[in-house]
Amino acid sequence: MRLRHIKGAREFLEANNEFVITDITNFDIFNVWSSSQPIHLEVGCGKGKFIIDMAKTFKDINFIAVEKYDSVLLRAVEKYLDLEDKPLNLRFILADFNDLAQKIAQHSINTLYLNFSDPWPKARQAKRRLTSPIFLNLYKNILTKDGYIIQKTDNVDLFNYSLLQYELAGFKIISKTYDLHSTNIFNITTEYEDKWSIKGPICYAKVRL
């Protein structure tokens, strides 16, 4: 699906720099959050429903939403701005995660969320999957010593690939299911999940270093 570019998206995000970061040149996560609360980060926040609802639910956690497309992040920020009671424990970052990961302090992130990432189904695309060894090494560098990755996907092939890669990379699988919505696991949904879960089950995994 082609992403529709929204004219003026970047300028809109830059104008809301109180809670949106568009330049990561001098990024320092400890300048973003001066409090000692744990930090959770979503890689590819899309239109923002999940991360906003998480921030509203867990006020004792600081949340970071990363999205590389300005036209997509615009929708998340608009959703945030529409809130009457905005959670102050949330920041949005416009960046490619590959670039941002080089700026994040070692062992500073408690939990990473991978929600419905692109499956990159062709074998030659495997290195682009967010659970490929390349990315898992990035996560191991920025996660705390007991940090978690929580993944949701509707793509069973990607899920099976991810489970194998977690084990090969030394992560411990804490819980997994091929049908999240049939369990009692705590779950805040994404926009995609609300739309597509009626067509099939959602896979879920929680892993730890």
Domain boundaries, the chain: 37-208
> Looking at residues 107-121, what average pLDDT do you find?
96
pLDDT at 186: 97
Q: In angstroms, rounded to a whole number, what is the distance separating the alpha carbons of residues 124 and 151?
A: 22
- State the architecture of 37-208 in CATH terms: 3-Layer(aba) Sandwich (3.40)
Choosing from 28, 118, 157, 179, the catalytic residue is 118
Q: What is the mean pLDDT of residues 121-135?
A: 95
Q: What's the pLDDT band for 1 if we cut at 50, 70, 90?
A: very low
User: Residue 62 pLDDT > 90, yes or no?
Assistant: yes
Distance CA 21, CA 14 (A): 7
pLDDT at res. 36: 85
Of the given ranges (31-40, 60-69, 103-112), which has the lowest mean pLDDT? 31-40
Mean pLDDT of 37-43: 97
Is 157 catalytic? The answer is no
Residue 59's pLDDT is what?
95
pLDDT of the residue at 3: 61
What number is the average pLDDT over the span 135-147?
96
Q: Is the pLDDT of residue 2 over 70?
A: no
Residue 97: how many other CB atoms lie within 10 Å: 21
